[in-house]
Structure 1
Amino acid sequence: MQTVANFTPNSIVGEIEKVLDTYPYNPYQQAFSIPDIRQQLIEYVLVRIPCADSSCSVESSQENTNQVPVSKIPRTPLQHQLHLQNLIHQGICVIMQMKSELISQILCETVQPVCEPSHWFG
């Protein structure tokens, strides 16, 4: 029996977009709009998906040691999608924790209030 996993980088980026759309704009979508942080999320997911750069075929008999174990790859399209979404959610949490200070600095710089008196009162 063969299972084919087809995770292309473009499909992963598209799924990241969909998952990020479910998060609040501030701070999640703002944080992952930063190119370096978004790239870290993409890399986080790619590293954790077997054969993410192309389709790969997996034999159920593990004769070849270079093959990915069948138990590591989801078998149905729904399992593939859920596995990918789970990895994206994990990556978002991990990166937000690891980069919290940097994200806070960057986001606070963009929304610093202007320190001028208001002219509204006359």
Structure 2
Amino acid sequence: MTQTIVNLTLPIVTNKIDTILAAYPLYEYRQVFAVPELRQKLTAYVLARLPVVYVTMDSGAVCDMEPTGHCYSSAQHDQINQLIHQGIEALLGRPELWQRQRSSELVEAEPIPSSWFG
């Protein structure tokens, strides 16, 4: 059979991101990261800061494989959780992300006094 290289880290990170976002107290965070592009940026943020684990497997066995967290220690799982929270804060701290969300919503502007006349 043909051997395939499988990334074991990606499914672990995506499952943890889903779990953490589902438990986040602010619904806005879940809405923002429901956008696939932003979810990918969060995933990339975490993966760039982790040692990625790969294995080689038979091509037929890859489809049957479920994500398992046994390739990381409990300290590394804590690190992944911390990196996800840091990534959420880092990405939400960037104003262009919020502008994209706001532009998709209709917002009524409040009347503001003009200083144009002095």
Shared topology, TM-score over 0.5?
yes
* Letter of the structure 2 residue corresponding to residue 54 of structure 1: Y
Residues 6-25 of structure 1: CA deviation (Å, up to 9, x unaligned) = 95201110001111112211
How big is the shift at 1:107? 2.4
1:18 matched to 2:19? The reply is: yes
The number of aligned residues is 87
Residues 78-113 of structure 1: CA deviation (Å, up to 9, x unaligned) = 212211100100111111112x2x332232234315
How big is the shift at 1:53? 4.3
CA distance in 2, matches of 1:20, 1:7: 21
1:90 matched to 2:69? The reply is: no
1:103 matched to 2:105? The reply is: no
**Which ranges in structure 2 are unaligned for 5 or more consecutive residues?**
1-6, 56-71, 109-118
Identity of aligned residues (%): 29
CA distance in 2, matches of 1:84, 1:7: 14
* Letter of the structure 1 residue corresponding to residue 27 of structure 2: Y
Q: Could you say if the C-alpha distance between residues 113 and 94 of structure 1 is closer, same or farther in structure 2, counting changes exceeding 3 Å?
A: closer
**Which ranges in structure 1 are unaligned for 5 or more consecutive residues?**
1-5, 56-75, 115-122
Residue aligning to 1:36: 37
Residue aligning to 1:112: 106
CA distance in 2, matches of 1:40, 1:108: 19
TM-score by length of 1: 0.60
Q: Give secondary structure in 2 for the equivalent of 1:49.
A: coil
Stretches (4+) displaced over 2 A? 102-111
CA distance in 2, matches of 1:33, 1:45: 17
2:91–2:97 contact (8 Å) kept in structure 1: no
